[in-house]
Structure 1
Amino acid sequence: MTEQPTLAGRIARFARVGANLGGFATGVAAARMGGRSLDDPRNAAELKRVLGELKGPLMKLAQILGNIPDAVPPEFARELAELQANAPPMGPGFVRRRMSGELGPDWRSKFVDFTPEAVSAASLGQVHKATLSGGETVAVKLQYPDMASAVEADLGQLDLLLSLFRRVDGSIDTSQIREELASRLREELDYGRELRHLLLFRAMLEGEPHVRVPRPFPDLSSDRLLTMEWLDGSRLLEWKDRDPVIRNRIAEALFLAWYRPFYRMGVIHGDPHLGNYSVAEASPEGAVVNLLDFGCVRIFPPRFIAGVNELYHAIEADDDERAAHAFEMWGFRGLTRDIRDVLLMWARFLYAPLLDDRVRPIDLDGRPGEYGRETARKVHAELRRLGTVTIPAEFVFMDRSAIGLGGVFIQLGAELNWSALFRSLMDDFDEAEVARRQAEALAESGLSLA
């Protein structure tokens, strides 16, 4: 059963987070009296420091906000995107209590070996390595205590952050962004749902030679515990100085691992940062990548995918009317011609490598950590001048994921014909067939459209 938030837990978390953010807000107010503007880079740097000390869900939310172009003012986006979702692991007492609570007091007998120290720790939980009686090596993911309370408390503080950003720059209506973040974060607390995501990805990518998805062990899993196959691999950044041909094969494997599920069933892996992938093997002939985390997954209606294609063709043909139709398919409403032209500035940036039929970097400037920032800054400035635009919920994680994946390609220094890869998937898209496959897969997995 999914853990429910408790009043005591929410109050404790709210008090701690509120005190830190309250101190930040007081400092900003004092600085304003001294002549410092709200959008001063020093305010953004201080907010990053405060959130980094808090850890937990709010830091994760802020990191995601920093990676959604146009969600927050540019001065804050840069700092928030650099937040690291690392946390000190919980000790052996927590491990014993969590494992006993989820698998029973004899939980240790279910493993031949269980490493008491966490091999990794993040915002919502930590991972241990273990061995089963059949010889399988597994990763055991444990959720931290009272995370449901922490999430609900931190979502309240997210509203405080967003109100601050609106005072700096009201060009983006963040209401749907906020609700999308809340929905995805609550889903991440449900490890039973993540297990179903795993099964969905295994079905979608079955037979694909370029990607591995771990096998889950339902009998050793619950809503707060997920046991899955341990996939050996090396970190992506360990390959950044290797032979460019090999790096290109790794990037190609990642591209297909991400875009094939989207075009087959409207599903994206919504958290494409470096820690969620590893390299199983790589050579000039090809690469195999591991997908490691399935907490943040977004499922789109087939019409949204059709809108992605429609906008591609609109930009290719420089057809404004077709672009307007594509934005409507994505969920944008009531756009003026001027605001649509500004959004097209961003869309042309995103689609540029997919329209350029040649081998090239994903970003011709190739600056890690800066992918899209200059364009986002220009878009923000124009929207600030023209008025407020509401970003549809479906757009939030698609946009963030595309930018996150592009940042990974820049880190690898990859150069590919992105257009040829994309067209091979896009040209095979059939909306009715995707709808049929999606309906079958969702019914079988117990999932639903986001």
Structure 2
Amino acid sequence: MADERDAEGNRFSSRARRYAKVTGAVSGLAMREAGRRIVGAEADYAKIAAELRKVLGGLKGPLMKVAQILATVPDAVPEEFAKELATLQSQAPSMGWPFVRRRMAAELGPEWRARFAEFSTEAVGAASLGQVHRAVSLDGVDLAVKLQYPDMLSAVEADLKQLKLALSIHKRMDGVIDTAEIYDEIAARLREELDYGREAAHMRLYGTVLADQAEIAVPRPFADLSTRRLLTMNWLDGTPILDWKSATEERRNHLAQVLFRAWWLPFTRIGVIHGDPHLGNYTVRGDAEGINLLDYGCIRVFPPGFVEGVSALYHALRTGDAAQAVHAYEIWGFRGLSNELIETLNIWARFIYGPLLDDRSRSIADGVSPAQYGRREMMEVHRRLKSLGPIRPPREFVFMDRAAIGLGAVFLHLDARQNWYRLFNEALDGFDAAHLAGRQRAALAAAGVEPV
């Protein structure tokens, strides 16, 4: 036991040293940028981005997930930053068996091992907040057991301080996006991910809302083997979705169709999205019969008005109704909507909604190189915002935008072709903004999810 305590103390000391190193390095970048502005020198984004990546790349933890989120939000960071941040990995070294034994005893009591028929000593997966072990229940059910790393609350809070510093660098360089609400949103969602009780409730919510979708499997949590920092669920067999990149076009298109429904149906039915569209969160069942939808730590529950705005803006872009577009942006929370700003917002909106507005079978990129997809629109938005002044996107925009781009990236990897217009309108079929609030309240209450 003394060895375990010493090892945990060393782990904490090592983390503290890494945070101190990162804080000093990021602060140094900020000071150099302040000096550049005083003398009126041009910013070398590529150089600063490479330095930032070097600093952040040495810290394997929640900050990696934050960095990847920022890389998908247009103009939250410069293009050079986005490219560097996109290369970061959200992998953390797994805890050894002595740590696992101690953590499991802390969560389920000293006799925890007797509550499982089998429990693997080696982790089968490690990520930014915790790791997963395979197990078998006493009645023979295959289980996935997700155990949170120790001291993650302090790690998250320290990482959020680094995030503020990193955002301040961009603000001093060329801040066309006011990132205040972006920071608040990321901070709120990251803190929520530490609560595995909430994640279990999200699983129950998705299990109910997708109960009529036989091709989409949602894991089932085991309450008696779970706590706020330990989540036990049934194991879902599947293969990585990237293993299907070379499958037949029919199979790839089918997987894309199922993924589309898994993402959009919960949004149009009760106003929730799976906010972490990482490729590792989808596995394929059998011979592409369906998918397993995994990891419910980052589920975003939207106010009904925001969901109404998504539908309203879609119809506005489809019909060319400028007044309806303005209404959509207003109910989202955009302020100071001049004609020039609306035109600028519409550039990005047409990019995001583009495949959904086109009534034909097509790929997501539709002939544009995946490496260049969205680049022209992002550059034009940036150019216009520089003359219009800083814009503060509403906080709900962060994960909606991230999830939409992430889902599109999965479709690009699969090289899938669909009539996305038809699929989206099928998801919207029966959508009623007036009754959404009541349906959402009932669904959240039944699953035990706190309302927005």
What TM-score results when the alignment is normalised by the length of structure 1? 0.93
Name which of 424, 427, 445 aligns with 1:425.
Answer: 427
- Partners of 1:11 and 1:118 lie apart in 2 by 25
- Partners of 1:192 and 1:384 lie apart in 2 by 43
Give the aligned partner of residue 4 of structure 1. none
Matches of residues 150-299 of structure 1 in structure 2 within 5 Å? 150-283=155-288, 287-299=289-301
Is 1:9–1:150's contact at 8 Å kept on the other side of the alignment?
A: no
- Partners of 2:76 and 2:199 lie apart in 1 by 26
Check 1:36–1:78 CA distance in 2 against 1; reply closer, same or farther (3 A cut).
farther
Give the aligned partner of residue 49 of structure 1. 54
Give the aligned partner of residue 394 of structure 2. 392
- SS of aligned partner of 2:214: coil
- Partners of 2:193 and 2:308 lie apart in 1 by 27
Matches of residues 49-448 of structure 1 in structure 2 within 5 Å? 49-283=54-288, 287-368=289-370, 370-448=372-450
TM superposition shift of 1:292: 1.0
Larger deviation, residues 18-27 vs 89-98: 18-27
- Partners of 1:237 and 1:36 lie apart in 2 by 44
- Output the amino acid matched with 1:396: V
Larger deviation, residues 92-101 vs 434-443: 434-443
Check 1:41–1:32 CA distance in 2 against 1; reply closer, same or farther (3 A cut).
farther
- Partners of 1:25 and 1:176 lie apart in 2 by 21
TM superposition shift of 1:13: 6.3
Is 2:78–2:170's contact at 8 Å kept on the other side of the alignment?
A: yes
2:43 equivalent to 1:38: yes
- Partners of 1:55 and 1:365 lie apart in 2 by 37
Is 2:22–2:55's contact at 8 Å kept on the other side of the alignment?
A: no
Is 1:300–1:449's contact at 8 Å kept on the other side of the alignment?
A: no
- SS of aligned partner of 2:430: coil
Check 1:75–1:261 CA distance in 2 against 1; reply closer, same or farther (3 A cut).
same
TM superposition shift of 1:78: 2.0
- SS of aligned partner of 1:241: coil
- Partners of 2:343 and 2:31 lie apart in 1 by 39
Any unmatched runs of 5+ in structure 1? 1-6
Give the aligned partner of residue 4 of structure 2. none
CA deviations on 1:72-97 (whole Å, 9 max, x unpaired) are 12221122123211121111121011
TM superposition shift of 1:270: 0.3
- Partners of 1:34 and 1:96 lie apart in 2 by 57
Is 1:113–1:131's contact at 8 Å kept on the other side of the alignment?
A: yes
- SS of aligned partner of 2:239: coil
TM superposition shift of 1:377: 2.2
TM superposition shift of 1:368: 4.0
- SS of aligned partner of 2:58: helix
Is 1:9–1:149's contact at 8 Å kept on the other side of the alignment?
A: no
TM superposition shift of 1:432: 2.9
- Partners of 1:89 and 1:31 lie apart in 2 by 41
- SS of aligned partner of 1:126: strand
- Partners of 1:95 and 1:318 lie apart in 2 by 57
Is 1:68–1:396's contact at 8 Å kept on the other side of the alignment?
A: yes
- SS of aligned partner of 1:55: coil
TM superposition shift of 1:113: 1.3
Check 1:39–1:202 CA distance in 2 against 1; reply closer, same or farther (3 A cut).
farther
* Matched length: 441
TM superposition shift of 1:112: 1.4
Larger deviation, residues 338-347 vs 29-38: 29-38
CA deviations on 1:99-153 (whole Å, 9 max, x unpaired) are 0000001111111111111111111111111111111111110111111011111
Percent identity over the alignment is: 55
- SS of aligned partner of 1:260: helix
- Partners of 2:199 and 2:264 lie apart in 1 by 20
The CA RMSD over aligned residues, in Å, is 2.3
Larger deviation, residues 261-270 vs 162-171: 162-171
Larger deviation, residues 257-266 vs 69-78: 69-78
TM superposition shift of 1:27: 7.4
- Partners of 1:104 and 1:245 lie apart in 2 by 50
Is 1:247–1:412's contact at 8 Å kept on the other side of the alignment?
A: yes
- Output the amino acid matched with 1:416: Q
TM superposition shift of 1:306: 1.5
What TM-score results when the alignment is normalised by the length of structure 2? 0.92
- SS of aligned partner of 2:77: coil
- SS of aligned partner of 1:142: strand
TM superposition shift of 1:17: 2.9
Check 1:83–1:9 CA distance in 2 against 1; reply closer, same or farther (3 A cut).
closer
- SS of aligned partner of 1:416: coil
